[in-house]
Structure 1
Amino acid sequence: MSYQPLLISYQQAADLRQHVGADSLIGRSIAEEIQALEAYMPIGIEIPGHGEAGGYEHNRHKQNYIHLDLAGRLYLITGEQRYLDYATTMLVEYAKVYKHRDLNISRDTNKPGRLFHQTLNENMWMLYSSCAYSCIRHELTEDQQQLIENDLFKVMLEMFVVTYAENFDIIHNHGLWSVASAGICAYAINDQATVDKALYGLKGDSVSGGFIAQLTQLFSPDGYYMEGPYYHRFSLRPIFLFAEAIERRQPEVGIYKLKNEVIKTTAYAVMSTAFPDGTLPALNDSSRTMDIKDLGILLATNICFERYEQNETLLAMAKHQDHVWVHNTGATLSNALENNAEVPNFNWGSLSLTDGAAGECGGVTILRHRDAKSDDSMALLWYGQHGSDAKLHSALDHGHFDGLHLSLFNNNQEFINDYGYGRWVNIEPKFGGRYIPENKSYCKQTVAHNTVVVDQTSQNQGVTAIAQQHNGEKHFTILGNQSDNGKLQAMSAFARDYYTGVDQQRTVIMLESEEFEKPLIIDLFRMISEEEHTYDYPVHYKGQIIRTDFEYQTHKSLNTLGDAHGYQHLWNLGQGKVEGSSLTTWLMGDSYYSLISSANADSEVIFSRTGANDPDFNLRNEPMFMLRQKAADHLFANVYETHGYFNESVEASLNARGQVDSVEVLLNDQVASVISINLVNDKKLTVCVSNVVGVDENTTSDVTVDGQSISWKGPVVIK
C-alpha cells in the first residue's frame, strides 16, 4: 500500500488505537474529538449556498471542514465505518456542486471563493478537506477518487494558483495559508508540479514566493511576526501542517532545518510572549482572549517536542493546554507528561524579540519574575514597527498606533491592559462579524493604549503610510531571573518623530524588594520637545476606584474628551488638579493596585470611560484615567504597586494602602533621569537611569542633584 495519508502513517494510526479509552492526555484528547464528531454527525450533511461573512452558511462550511478532518483521521485510528462513510459522502457532495458554483460576494478587498466571501477561508477549507481525503483515499472507488480530485480539488487549485496568482506568491500571513493549502492538496492528489509551486513559488526561485520564501522572509531573526501574536499564532497552523507533510513526503527538503530551524524559532517567539495565564498580548488587531490553547500553538507545542527538543517548558505548555494533537506527536508528548506530572507553570523567562526582516525595526521586551508563591509577574514593552502589512490589500491594515505600549500582569490577571481589536467575531448581527467601524475610530488610536498621547492626536497622525516609515529603537535591557540579577530588571526604548518635533523614551523597571508584596514597576516616560504640548498618559484598568489622595469633581452631565483620534468615544466622568504627586488606587479581583505619579504645576487627572458616540453599542464600556500635563520637556515618573488582599465572601480586606507615598522628579535631561520614590515609613529609593544613547554595563554616569553628586555604572541603579 504505497499511498500514505499526509500527516500520519497507517502504522502510527494503529498505534494510536491503543490509546482509545485510556485515562491519559492522549486518551482524553481522542475521546474529546470523538465526542465532537459524534455530536455533529446527526445534524446531517448540508452544503449551504452563499451567505453573510460570519453568518450561518459561513459557519456551516467551517464546521463541515473541521469535522470532515476529524472523520478522516478518526477513521484511521478507530476503524469506525460510520466515520469513513461520513467523510466520503461529505467530499462527494461538495465535489458534485463546487465547480458549478458562482463566486461569492466579497465584503472587503479580499478575493472571493465559491464557498466563502474570502479566499483565506476557502484555503482553510481545502487544507483540512485534503487532509481528510488523504486519510480515506485508499478506501474510495476509482470513480469517487476521480470525482473528488477533478471536480473539487483541481478546480480549487486552478482558482488559487492560476486565477489568483497575484495573491499566491504574496509574502504574508494569508500567503502562508495559500501556499500551504495548495501544497497539501497537491500532495493529497499526487500533483508534484503544484507541490513545487507551493514550495518554491510560481517562478521556482524560493524568493519571489512559495513556502520557503514565506519562512525565510516573513519573520525577524528572533522569529517575531510584525502583525503581533494574534496573527502570528494563526500562521503556525499552515506552517506546521505543511511542514509535517513535506517532511513525510520529501524529507530531502530538510524543512525543519531551514534557516537555522526558523520553524522552531518563530514558534517559540509567539509562545514566549504569552502572559502567565496563557493569554496572548493584544498587540495590534487582537482578541483579548486568544491564548496558547489555540490550535496553531497546540500543533507547534506537539511537533516541536517531537521534531526539535523535549524540554520542560513545552511540557508545561502542554499541561496548560490540557489537550494534545490526536497524532503520534501528541502521544509522545502525553507519555512524557505522565512522567513529569509535577512540572510547574510554563515560564519563558525575560527576553527581547527583534522586529523586522533583519531585526532592524525595534521589537518587544518582556520582563518576568516568579515569586516564592509561584506567582508570576510580567511587564511588556512594545516598540516595534507599525503592525500593518498592506501589500495584499487595505483590509490587512491590522496595525495600531501605540508605540511604547505597556502591559502589566500579576496575581493571574493583566492589570494594565490593552483594549484589543473592535470586532465581534462571527456574530453576524454585529457588522457581519467583521471589524466594527469603531476599530478604526477608537481601538487603533493611541489613546486606546497605555502610551502617551501628544495634543490629543494619535501617533503618526493616525495614518498607516506615515506610521510605516517609523519604528522604535531599543535603548537597553537588563534581563534576569531569580538566580542572578533578577531583583532589578529593566527595559528602555525610544520612539522618535512619531509626533513632529517630539521624541519619546520609555524606561520600565521591575524591582523586587522585601518592602513590597510584588515587584514594583517603575515607569519613566520621557517627552523631549522644544515647544510646549499637552501630554496625556492614559491608564486602562479594570475594577473599582478605591481612593485618591487628591480632590476631584465628577460631572453630572457628560461630554466627550475630544472630537477625534479616539477622544470622541471617551466620556469625561470627572477630573481634578494635582501638584507634586498623585495617588490613585483601584481594586481588581482580590488585589489592590496603586499608581503613584509625579506631577508639575497645573497637572490634572481625568477619569473617563469608553462608550461615547457609539450608536450601535459596539464598544465595551471600560474605565480609564489619564494624567494630563502641559510642558515641553517632561518626565512622567510613575510607580505601580500591587498590595493587599480582598475577599468579599468573608468580608476581609488587608493592606488596602500601599507602601509608596509619593514620587518626585529630581533630574530629567539628555544625560539622565533621577527620581525619588518616597515610602510611608520615611524611607526613600533613588532611581537613576542613563539616557545616553549607546549606554551599556560599562558606561559611567555622573550627575549633580540638589548640589549632590551621584555616580553609577551601567544603565540603571537604585540607591
Structure 2
Amino acid sequence: MDVLRLEKLLSNAANPSYSKALEQLHVLSIRAQEIDYKITEGERGNWTHYYYCHHDGARLHFDWSCPKQHVCPVCSKTWTGEPFDAAWVTLAHSQLGIGMKHLALSCLIDDDIEASGKVKAVLLDYAKYYANYEIHGDIPYNGPGKLFAQTLDEAHWIIDICYAYRFVERMLTDEEKQLIHSGLLLPCAEFLIEYKEKQLHNHAVLITSAIAMLGFLLEDEAIHLAGLKGEYGLLDQIDRGVLADGMWYEGAFQYHFYGYHSLLQYAILVEHTEWDLKAHPTLKKMFDFPLGYILPDGTLPNLNDASHTANIQRLAPYYEIALDWYGDTRYGELLRLAYGLDKTNEEQKDSGESNWQQIWKIPSDAPADRDSLEALWFGEELDNGQHVKASTAHVAGTGDRSLTQILMSDTTSDASGLTKLVNRKGWHLLVKHSKFSGEHDHMDRLGLSFGAGSVPLFIDPGTTAYGVPAHYGWFKHTYSHNTVSINGKDQPPADGKRLQYHKEDWGSWIESAVDWNDSPYTVKDSIILPKEMCPWDDQAYDGVSLRRVNIVTEHLLLDMVKMTVPDERTIDLLYHLSGELADNSLWQSSDAELSELGEHWLQDKWSKQLVAGQHLEWKMREGVLQQVSWCSSPVQLITARTVDNPPNRSRQTLVQRVSGSREREVLFINAFSYDNEMDRQQGQISGHLKLNVGTKSAGSLLLELTAAAVELSFTLDWKGEQAVLEQVK
C-alpha cells in the first residue's frame, strides 16, 4: 500500500468518526480467523448462479458446516448434489479470499503479526496446490477456470488474494514470498493471460485488472502490460468500453459499477506510482454519470441484466473513493444522504420549493452505517455537508445544481441513450433509446420504466440470477418489457436514438426512435455474440420503424407510439403493470398466442376490443393507476399474468395488439395518471382520466386530456422526421 494511503488508513482507524468501519473490519477479520476449511489438491468449483432456488429465485443459504445440503431461505427446500455442491466450493473459496483480505488489513492496522499467521498459511496452501488444479468449466459464453469454473471468478478471487498478500507482505520471509510468487501469483497470471477475453466486456475489465495487479506485485512489467496495454487490455476497455458520457456500454448501472470496482482495485494498488490512473478523465466521468439517473427514491433504474437494485447506500463505498480523489461536493451530498446525515432539506426550502412533496425516503436498510473498508481507506469528514477540497468538476449537463436537485430533475444523454423525466410529485419515467449493448442486452429499444417515488407502476424489472429459468426464458426477451414486439418476436440489435428533448413550462417531453434497416450497430465489431445469444428474428423486423413521444406533466404521463411496417405484421404494444386490473367483468377468457417464448410465461389471459377513449383502472401496490387509450387501427386488448422479479411474484401484462396491420402506419396513444394513498385520503384524486383524439388542420392530431380537474390540449404533427408537439393554450 502506498505510504500516503497507509497514513490516511491509520489516521482514520484512530478517528472516532470511523469507529463503525473499524468495528466492522474487526468483526469480519474474526469471522475469517474462524474459517476452518482445508485447501486440498482436488478443489473444483462451479458457477455461483447455480446456487439459487429454482422455485422462487432466492439465493440458497451458504453454511460452512453443510457443504452437501443447500437450503432455500424462502421456501425451505433443501437442494442436494450437483451443480449445488460445486457451486458451494466456489462460494467457499470466494469467502476465503475476501476473508483473508479483511484479516490481513486488520493485521496491518493493529500490527498483529500473530494473527497474520492465518493469512500466511492460506496463501502458502494455495501456493502448494494451485498450479496443478485442472482447467475446467462449461459455463455459457465464458472462459474456463482452474480453482473456479470460469475465468471471471478466478479474477475475482485473485484480486482479493492480491490485497491479502500486499497487506501482510512485510510480515513474510523471502522464502515465503518466493513460494507464493512461484506457486500462486505467477501461475494465476499466466492462466488469466491465456484466457483473456478478446472483446469489450465487463469480464474483460475484471480479468485485465487482475493481470495488471499480479504484474505489479510480481514486479514483472511484461505481465503488468499484458493486463494494461494492447487491444482489449484494461486501458482499451476504458477508452472504448466507456461511452462519451461516462456510462459503461453494456447499459446496466449494476454492470457499470461491477466492472468499475475491479478497475478501482487496480487503481488503488498503483496509486501514487508511475501507473497511477486517477488523472485519467474517464474515471471521474464514471463517478459522475450515474448521479443524474438516481431516481427520487434513491435507487438507480434496473436495466438489461441487472439482478439487484442499486441504491445510494450500495453506492456509498464508491463515492468514499470519489470524494477523496476528486473532491466534488456532490459526492459528499450522496454520502450524507446514504448515511442519513441530512435531517432536513433546507436548500429545498430556501429555493422556494417548500410545496414540492418530499419524495426522498430511504426505502429499506437505511440509513447505511459508515462501515465500509473504503471509508477507512478514503473517508473525508462530512460535517455540515461541506468538504475541504474545492469541487473540480460538475456532473455533465447538470450545471451547478445540488445532488438533491438532480434527483428531482430531468437528465438526458444521447451517448448512453437514457432519458429520465421527473415531475414535482416524484413520478419518474426512464426512456431507453440506447445503442445495442451486447450479451447483457434485453432487446428492448425504446422501453419505458415508470414509477412514483418508490412505487413501481410499469417498470423494467432487470433480471434474476442467471441459473434461474426465468432469466433466459423470460427476462432477456423483448416481450417482458414495456416496448413493442413484432409478430411476438425479439427485436434484433439496433441502435436507438434521441430525436429531441424539451423542457416546457407545463412539463417535459422526449421523442426517441429506432429503425431496423440493416445498419450496423455501434459495438458489432467489438463484441462476441454466440449463436445461442441471438434469439431475434431479423425477417420480422426488416424495414420496421418505431417512434415514441413521451410527455410527463404534473398530472399525467402521455405515451405516443408510431409504428411503420413495410407489409402485414402483428404489432404488440406491451405494458407490464405491478398491480392488477380493478375490473375485468367485461373481459372474456382468451387463449390467444402472444409470444414465441411459450405460453407458460403468460397465464390467465383475458381479452376485449379497444374502444376509443378506453378507460382502465389498475390497483397498484399503493394507490391507483388510471389509463386511457386510443389507436388509429382496431386493437385487441389482452391481459396475462406474467412473472415478476423475484420470480415468485407476478405482474399483470397488458398487450395492445394490432393484428395484420393492414395500414402501413399505426399510432397508439396512452395516457396515465397515478393517485397514491395519501392523495386519496386527502381527497386530492385525479378524477376520471379522459382522452379525446381528433384531427386538426393539415392532418395533425388534436389531443384533449382531462386529469385532476386540469384540462390539457396538444397538437401533434408526426409526418416529418421529427414530431411537432405544441400545447393548445
Preserved CA contact (<8 Å) 1:660 1:677: no
Q: Distance in 1 between matches of 2:32 and 2:276?
A: 38
Structure-1 residue corresponding to 2:382: 336
Structure-2 residue corresponding to 1:273: 293
Pair 1:137 & 2:179 matched: no
TM alignment of 1:597-636, pairs within 5 A: 597-599=629-631, 602-610=634-642, 620-630=649-659, 631=661, 632=663, 633-636=665-668
Q: Deviations over 1:370-426 (max 9, x none)?
A: x3xxx63321100122221xxxxxxxx2221211100012132232112422x43xx
TM-fit CA distance, 1:521 = 1.2
Q: Distance in 1 between matches of 2:437 and 2:3?
A: 33
Q: Deviations over 1:253-274 (max 9, x none)?
A: 562233xx11111232234333
Q: Deviations over 1:508-529 (max 9, x none)?
A: 11112xxx4xxx2111111223
Structure-1 residue corresponding to 2:24: 32
Structure-1 residue corresponding to 2:616: 584
Q: Deviations over 1:174-226 (max 9, x none)?
A: 1111111111222223223322332223xxxxxx2322211111111112223
TM-fit CA distance, 1:600 = 5.5
Pair 1:684 & 2:708 matched: no
Pair 1:256 & 2:292 matched: no
TM-fit CA distance, 1:689 = 4.1
Preserved CA contact (<8 Å) 2:29 2:106: no
Q: Distance in 2 between matches of 1:365 and 1:7?
A: 43
Structure-2 residue corresponding to 1:51: 45
Structure-1 residue corresponding to 2:418: 364
Preserved CA contact (<8 Å) 2:13 2:19: no
Secondary structure in 2 matching 1:272: helix
Q: Distance in 1 between matches of 2:695 and 2:324?
A: 54
Pair 1:406 & 2:443 matched: no
TM alignment of 1:201-350, pairs within 5 A: 201=230, 208-228=231-251, 229-250=253-274, 253=275, 255-258=277-280, 261-294=281-314, 297-317=315-335, 319-320=337-338, 322-324=368-370, 326=372, 333-337=379-383, 339=385, 347=407, 349-350=409-410
Q: Deviations over 1:37-74 (max 9, x none)?
A: 32343232433621332221010111111111111222
Preserved CA contact (<8 Å) 1:672 1:691: yes
Q: Distance in 2 between matches of 1:376 and 1:7?
A: 46
Preserved CA contact (<8 Å) 1:537 1:626: yes
Cα gap change, 1:182/1:554 in structure 2, threshold over 3 Å: closer, same or farther? same
Preserved CA contact (<8 Å) 1:543 1:588: yes
Q: Distance in 1 between matches of 2:597 and 2:690?
A: 32
Cα gap change, 1:119/1:489 in structure 2, threshold over 3 Å: closer, same or farther? same
Structure-2 residue corresponding to 1:157: 189
Secondary structure in 2 matching 1:536: strand
Q: Distance in 2 between matches of 1:673 and 1:308?
A: 50
Secondary structure in 2 matching 1:185: helix
Q: Distance in 1 between matches of 2:577 and 2:568?
A: 29
Secondary structure in 2 matching 1:506: strand
Deviates more, 1:398-407 or 1:76-85: 76-85
TM-score when scaled to structure 1? 0.78
Structure-2 residue corresponding to 1:542: 578
Structure-2 residue corresponding to 1:415: 457
TM-fit CA distance, 1:339 = 4.6
Cα gap change, 1:620/1:33 in structure 2, threshold over 3 Å: closer, same or farther? same
Preserved CA contact (<8 Å) 1:227 1:398: yes
TM alignment of 1:437-456, pairs within 5 A: 437-456=469-488
TM alignment of 1:185-200, pairs within 5 A: 185-200=214-229
Pair 1:10 & 2:6 matched: yes
Preserved CA contact (<8 Å) 1:227 1:387: yes
The amino acid across from 2:419 in the alignment is T
Aligned Cα root-mean-square deviation (Å): 3.3
Preserved CA contact (<8 Å) 2:512 2:547: yes
Preserved CA contact (<8 Å) 2:641 2:650: yes
Structure-1 residue corresponding to 2:548: 506
More strand by share: 1
Q: Distance in 1 between matches of 2:176 and 2:717?
A: 71
Preserved CA contact (<8 Å) 1:609 1:622: yes
Number of aligned positions between the proteins: 619
The amino acid across from 2:507 in the alignment is L
TM alignment of 1:94-109, pairs within 5 A: 94-109=126-141
TM alignment of 1:527-566, pairs within 5 A: 527-529=563-565, 531-547=567-583, 552-555=586-589, 559=591, 561-562=593-594, 564-565=596-597
TM alignment of 1:459-478, pairs within 5 A: 459-460=491-492, 467=493, 470-478=494-502
Cα gap change, 1:574/1:366 in structure 2, threshold over 3 Å: closer, same or farther? same
Structure-2 residue corresponding to 1:385: 435
Deviates more, 1:324-333 or 1:585-594: 324-333
Q: Point out where structure 2 has 5 or more consecutive residues left out of the alignment.
A: 49-86, 340-367, 388-401, 518-540
Secondary structure in 1 matching 2:309: coil
Preserved CA contact (<8 Å) 2:513 2:547: yes
Q: Distance in 2 between matches of 1:509 and 1:112?
A: 48
Cα gap change, 1:694/1:46 in structure 2, threshold over 3 Å: closer, same or farther? farther
Q: Distance in 2 between matches of 1:106 and 1:487?
A: 55
TM-fit CA distance, 1:472 = 1.2
Preserved CA contact (<8 Å) 1:561 1:572: no
TM-fit CA distance, 1:565 = 3.9
TM-fit CA distance, 1:596 = 1.7
TM-fit CA distance, 1:108 = 2.7
State the identity %.
19
Q: Deviations over 1:467-498 (max 9, x none)?
A: 2xx2112110124xxxxx56411111111137
Pair 1:65 & 2:101 matched: no
TM-fit CA distance, 1:506 = 0.6
The amino acid across from 1:717 in the alignment is Q
The amino acid across from 1:367 in the alignment is L
Q: Distance in 2 between matches of 1:453 and 1:654?
A: 40
Q: Point out where structure 1 has 5 or more consecutive residues left out of the alignment.
A: 202-207, 356-361, 389-396, 425-433, 461-466, 480-484, 702-714
Q: Pick from 484, 506, 510 the counterpart of residue 491 of structure 1.
A: 510
Secondary structure in 1 matching 2:337: helix
The amino acid across from 1:17 in the alignment is A
Preserved CA contact (<8 Å) 1:271 1:292: no
Preserved CA contact (<8 Å) 1:14 1:76: no
Q: Distance in 1 between matches of 2:648 and 2:691?
A: 35
Secondary structure in 1 matching 2:191: helix
Cα gap change, 1:32/1:679 in structure 2, threshold over 3 Å: closer, same or farther? same
Higher relative contact order (CA 8 A, sep 6+): 2
Q: Distance in 2 between matches of 1:331 and 1:144?
A: 27
TM-fit CA distance, 1:595 = 1.6
Cα gap change, 1:333/1:9 in structure 2, threshold over 3 Å: closer, same or farther? closer
TM-fit CA distance, 1:334 = 4.8
